[in-house]
Every structure is written in C-alpha cells, then in structure tokens.
Amino acid sequence: MLSYIRSGIPLKLFRRPEFWVVTLLGALFVITVYADLLRGQQLSGDEFQLVLFALQQAFFLSVIAIATWRFGFAVGFFFWGALGAVTIPYAAIYLTANWHPNLLLEMIVIGLVGLAEVGLINAYEQGKKKLLEYQRHLEDRVKERTVDLTRANLALERDIIERKRIEGELREALAQVKTLTGLLPMCANCKKIRDDKGYWSSVEKYISTHSEAEFTHGICPDCLEKLYPSYYGPGKKKPAG
C-alpha cells in the first residue's frame, strides 16, 4: 500500500463517478464508526451499539468489495488499509471502555475478511481477464486455421481441376490412337482383309482405317523386272532401292 501511495493515485480515477461513490461510502463508514463520539456519548456495549457495529462491518466490506471490483487490487487494497487505519483509534477507545477478547478477535477477523475479499475479487478479475485473453487467442488461432484450410481447399480444388483436365486430354489422345491387334483374316490370293462387318477391303484401306499409317505407292525391283522386262529384265540395270 505504501508503494501505491508513493506512486500516487492515477488522475483518471478522479474523473470516474464510481470512484466518488466508493469514497462517499467510505465517508459513511467513518461516520458510522465515530457516530457515538460525534454525538458526545460514551462508547457502551448496549444493543444499539452492537447494531451500529454490525452496520460498520457491512459498510467496511462493501466499500472494499466495490473498490476492488471496479478499480482492481491496488485501489481495493488502498481502501482496505485507509479504512482500517481510521478504525484503529475507535477500536482502541471502544475496547478500553468495553474490553472483551472476543470483541478484539472479531475486529481482527473482520480485517482479515476484508483483506481476503480484496485478494479473492482480484483473483477472480485476473482469472476472467486471462480467460478472455485465452478466448481471443483461440479465436485468432481458429481464424488463422480457417484461412489456412481455405487456402488448402482452393489449392486442392485447383489440383483436382488440373488433374481432370489432364485426364480429359489423355482420354482424348487415347481415343485418337488406333492400333492393330489380334488375328487379321486375309485372302490367300488377293491379300484383301475382312473387317468386323464381314466386308473385304484392300490392305491399304484396312490399315489406313484402323491405324494412323498412310500409304504412298511405288514399285519394288522384283515387280519392275516382271512388269518391264525390256527395261529391267535379266542382265538389265536395276534401280537402286
């Protein structure tokens, strides 16, 4: 508390109406504590004095609770120390006139309850603050993960589209590829080939239909010799190739 007093109460507290409400309650506490002395009456242990003492405790704990809840540990602890210091002279005077060990113990307990109240309320507020910070941290992590997952999904969708495009191109390429497989029924004499529908076609036409091969015509040396014996017969010069 001394370090808090040396550092000074922040000026912004004086601009808040809640601070003045707490201060007013603290002043009422002081008035209830010294009510008998202000009226010039002796401090006696009658029934009215006990009711007044109970009211003092309610004011004391209320002021500390509100100060701690609204302004944090430092302000709540400051009010606890300030109001406790104000109560000490009255307690000394009252106990001198009405000494009882249980009454002293009760005053000490009230002081400890007020101190525990400051600690508990501050711990609750700090825990709530940490919980909110952790919740915001989780929300930020969820947003980051959502962005990452969105990017991953977009990349996956692009990859799927690209794969489908490549598969389409492959199917189209395979559809254009024509190959000849299996046994081909061929005429032993004219060398025509029978297709699946039973029609006979020349070798050139069949192969051109069922493959990518194309034909260009020429005459081999043996046929030249048969067809043109006068030019390419025995003893004549045969063309190269």
* Range(s) of the domain holding residue 126: 2-144
Q: How far apart are the first and last CA of the chain?
A: 116
Check residue 1 and give its pLDDT. Answer: 47
State both tokens at 140. 């930020």
How many whole angstroms separate alpha carbon 26 and alpha carbon 11? 19
Cβ-based neighbours of 73, under 8 Å, separated by 6 or more: 118, 119, 122
State both tokens at 228. 């043109």
How many whole angstroms separate alpha carbon 163 and alpha carbon 168? 8
What percent of the chain has a predicted confidence (pLDDT) above 70? 78
Q: How many angstroms separate the Cα of 93 from the Cα of each of 44, 82, 236?
A: 11, 18, 155
Estimate the crossing angle of helix 101-176 against helix 47-71, to 10 degrees.
Answer: 30
Query: For residue range 98-112, what is the model confidence (pLDDT) as tens digits?
Result: 666 766 777 788 888
- Look at residue 192 and tell me if it is in a domain: no
Query: For residue range 29-68, what is the model confidence (pLDDT) as tens digits?
Result: 887 777 766 666 665 556 666 667 777 788 888 888 888 8
**Could you tell me which of 49, 48, 59 has the C-alpha nearest to residue 21?**
59
Check residue 153 and give its pLDDT. Answer: 92
Residue 5 binned pLDDT confidence (cut-offs 50, 70, 90): very low
* Total domains, the chain: 1
- Look at residue 230 and tell me if it is in a domain: no
Query: For residue range 70-94, what is the model confidence (pLDDT) as tens digits?
Result: 888 888 888 888 888 888 887 777 7
Check residue 10 and give its pLDDT. Answer: 61
- Across residues 175-201, what is the average pLDDT? 74
Query: For residue range 134-170, what is the model confidence (pLDDT) as tens digits?
Result: 899 899 999 999 999 999 999 999 999 999 989 988 8
- Look at residue 168 and tell me if it is in a domain: no
Check residue 215 and give its pLDDT. Answer: 73
> Is the model's pLDDT at 197 over the cut of 50?
yes
Check residue 45 and give its pLDDT. Answer: 57
In the Cβ-directed half-sphere of 118, how many Cα atoms lie within 13 Å? 21
Residue carrying structure tokens 């260009």: 216
- Across residues 210-236, what is the average pLDDT? 74
174/88: higher pLDDT: 88
CB 80 within 8 A of CB 122: no
- Across residues 110-139, what is the average pLDDT? 87
**Could you tell me which of 52, 60, 113 has the C-alpha nearest to residue 83?**
60
- Look at residue 56 and tell me if it is in a domain: yes
Residues in the chain: 241
- Look at residue 30 and tell me if it is in a domain: yes
* Average pLDDT along the chain: 78
> Is the model's pLDDT at 120 over the cut of 80?
yes
- Give 127-159 as a DSSP string: HHHHHHHHHHHHHHHHHHHHHHHHHHHHHHHHH
Query: If residue 193 lies in a helix (H) or strand (E), which one and from where to where?
Result: strand 193-194
